[in-house]
Amino acid sequence: MTMLPLADRHGRTATDLRVSLTDRCNLRCSYCMPAEGLDWLPHHEALTDEEVVRLISIGVERLGITEVRFTGGEPLLRRGLSGIIAATKALEPVPEVSLTTNALGLERTAVALAAAGLDRVNVSLDTIRAEDFATITRRDRLDDVIRGIEAATAAGLDPVKVNAVLMPGVNDDQAPELLGWCLERGLHLRFIEQMPLDAQHAWERSAMITADQIVASLQTRFTLNPSTKSRGSAPAEEFLVDDGPLTVGVIASVTRPFCGDCDRVRLTADGQIVNCLFAREESDLRTPMRAGATDDELAGLWLAAVLGKLPGHGIDDPSFLQPDRPMSAIGG
């Protein structure tokens, strides 16, 4: 089959597909969701397992997708997750398959997910203090997350990365502690600047902990030197910790955006193609798919969607408007 790259008008090609498997979640991280949760997608609007796999197949077999990351909401809540992973790993050319998760339940599922073909996992963990974990996520589940991380490592998922967001007045003084904890366990830690993607629209730039502040805070305990390895399209700036070889990453989505090197495209749980977390436009693949569109037709719609990808997210632009859907609904 001829491979048609998902190229846009700004010289970029999307090869990294982020698939949201659900908008639901069992945590309520304050930077992501309100305490009461959100109006979840009605069941009939969400893609079935077969529909998800069909769209991933089109992406991998016709459109040059080489990496597939499952996310949400919380992807471990998707009952068919193992089957979707196995079907994705059965495609040719075989894509890299990873998962971004809060790790609740990973203790029970890590072995099965690895057996299904999962290559890597990113776990979100902002603090190793139980009380602060409960404040940030509004659930007292730190122990379950830690057991999930241990199970992922034991199941051979490699690397296990940890994603952390720092919140002013809650855990912004804990960056060195979290890094020390991750280094001891061979986990690769990355800090993410808080982005305006919360459902409550409460984000304020002045209250955000910046990448420079994160690095300065880590330097109170560790020596950090920029890694000389090429960053490519990876969003994280990597630093060697105490002369290496271990590193820590900082993702400065707001203060040092990396849109020029972006190779991502997103598929929402209800079958919309979204070019960027901050895009205000979505391209519907579910309606034509359910109306009988062929794989060729769906590939054509997907190509047209990516062609229109904007050059940048524009958070710094005074006219910036937060997208209607929060990150948990787009797929973070």
Cα-Cα-Cα-Cα torsion 281, 285, 290, 292, nearest 10 degrees, comes to 130
The CB-of-31 to ligand SAM minimum distance in angstroms stands at: 4
Binding mask 44-73 for ligand SF4 (x = CB under 6 A): ----------------------------xx
Total residues contacting ligand SF4 (rule CB under 6 A)? 12
- Out of ligand SF4, ligand SAM, none, what residue 33 binds, judged by CB under 5 to 8 A for its kind, is ligand SF4
Assess contact for 145 and 105: CB atoms under 8 A: no
Q: CB under 8 Å, gap of 24 or more: what pairs does 237-244 form?
A: 237/211, 239/215, 241/179, 241/183
Cα-Cα-Cα-Cα torsion 207, 212, 214, 218, nearest 10 degrees, comes to -150
Chain residues that interact with ligand SAM, rule: CB under 6 A: 25, 31-32, 71-72, 74, 100-102, 124, 163, 165, 192, 194-195, 197-198, 327-328, 332
By the 10 Å C-beta count (0-12 exposed, 13-18 middle, 19+ buried), 135 is classed as middle
Assess contact for 149 and 141: CB atoms under 8 A: no
Q: Is 102 in the site for ligand SF4 (CB under 6 A)?
A: yes
The CB-of-58 to ligand SAM minimum distance in angstroms stands at: 24
**Residues in 9-28 at the binding interface with ligand SF4, rule: CB under 6 A:** 25, 27-28
Beta carbons within 8 Å of 270's beta carbon, 6+ residues apart: 41, 45, 46, 47, 286
Q: Taking CB positions, which residue lies at the least distance from ligand SAM?
A: 332
- Out of ligand SAM, ligand SF4, none, what residue 87 binds, judged by CB under 5 to 8 A for its kind, is none
- Out of ligand SF4, ligand SAM, none, what residue 151 binds, judged by CB under 5 to 8 A for its kind, is none
CA 111 to chain centre: 21
Q: 63 vs 163, which CB is nearer to ligand SAM?
A: 163
Q: 32 vs 97, which CB is nearer to ligand SF4?
A: 32
Q: Within 10 Å of residue 13's Cβ, how many Cβ atoms?
A: 16
Assess contact for 180 and 217: CB atoms under 8 A: no
Write out the residues near ligand SF4 by the rule CB under 6 A: 25, 27-29, 32-33, 72-74, 102, 124, 328
